[in-house]
Structure 1
């Protein structure tokens, strides 16, 4: 047994992506951010759908068409495959902890 809130490094140069489980049509990962954001040079354009749950912290997701979504602990969001998005902001002074489920339709 493992705990999603355990083993979070004190210092993070980059966002931490950890795959928790993988199947033929699903992948679940824990993402740890602390003031991180996506590179300004591009967008995530994923072939699978993604459902994200913010377990701790705060974040802002931006979408290519101009929408922005503010997420706080407990908020979740489904992102359809190929909807271009990026992380605009995460809380810099504390950990932002995500649970991301990638799945095929």
Structure 2
């Protein structure tokens, strides 16, 4: 699905309700929704073309969004791998903590003569 496009010399973005709006009306919530689409691989972004954008503010905003979202899409696997490694480190630490705690319970049971 196309999330950024140039239409009638204006930059446009797609919102959660599948409606396009002027890029200068973009909110933090809209941006987060677009980022999620980029990360899940469903976003298409029309290439930046300064000559198609008449409004200088739209040029600046669109170029910045295009560059950053394109970079994010290209580095998506790197972010996924990094977060998986971080999760794995926490998981392993948790497993070490729980296995040590289980050993203490077994030691206490053995010291009282119970099986």
User: Higher strand share goes to which structure?
Assistant: 1
**TM-score (norm. length: structure 2):** 0.25
**Structure of higher CA gyration radius:** 2
* Structure number with higher helix proportion: 2
TM value normalised by structure 1: 0.27
- The structure showing larger relative contact order (alpha-carbon pairs under 8 Å, at least 6 residues apart) is 1
